[in-house]
Amino acid sequence: MDGSALAREYYRSIDDDDYETLESLLAEGFVHGRPDRTLSGRERFVEFMREERPETDTEHVIDAVYSTGDGARVAAEGRLLRADGEVWFGFVDTFDIDGEAIADIRTYTDEHPL
C-alpha cells in the first residue's frame, strides 16, 4: 500500500472503529502530534482512539491527499464531522511513511474551516 492509500485507510479504520486494522497501519514507534497532546506508541494511540476520544461517532471527510514522489511524505486535508453532520473542525495531517507503515502523524487544525 502506498502512502496515500495508507492515509485513506487510516481515516477509514478510525471512522469504522476498526482498531485491529488501525494498529496494523502504524509502525511500532508511531507518534501522533496534535495541538492538544502527543501520543507516543502504536498501542497507546489505538487505546486513545478506542477509549478516550471526546467523540467517537465522527466522520473524516478528505478533500485532498498530497504525496511526495517517493510516497514517504503524505498530507491529507479535510474536515471532521460530528454525528449530526456539523463540521467540528478542519485539519491537515502530515504523515511520515516508513516502508509499509505510518511512522508519524502531525495534525494541524482550524476551528473555522471554509
Domain ranges across the chain:
3-110
Cell of 107: 495534525
Residue with cell 498530497: 66
50-96 pLDDT, tens digit per residue, is: 999 888 889 999 999 999 988 899 999 999 999 999 998 999 999 99
Listed residue (2, 23, 7) closest to 93, CA to CA: 7
Q: What are phi and psi of 32, to 5 degrees?
A: -120, 115
CATH classification (class only), 3-110: alpha beta
Residue pLDDT, tens place only, 15-62: 999 999 999 999 999 999 998 899 999 999 999 999 998 888 899 999
What pTM did the predictor assign?
Answer: 0.92
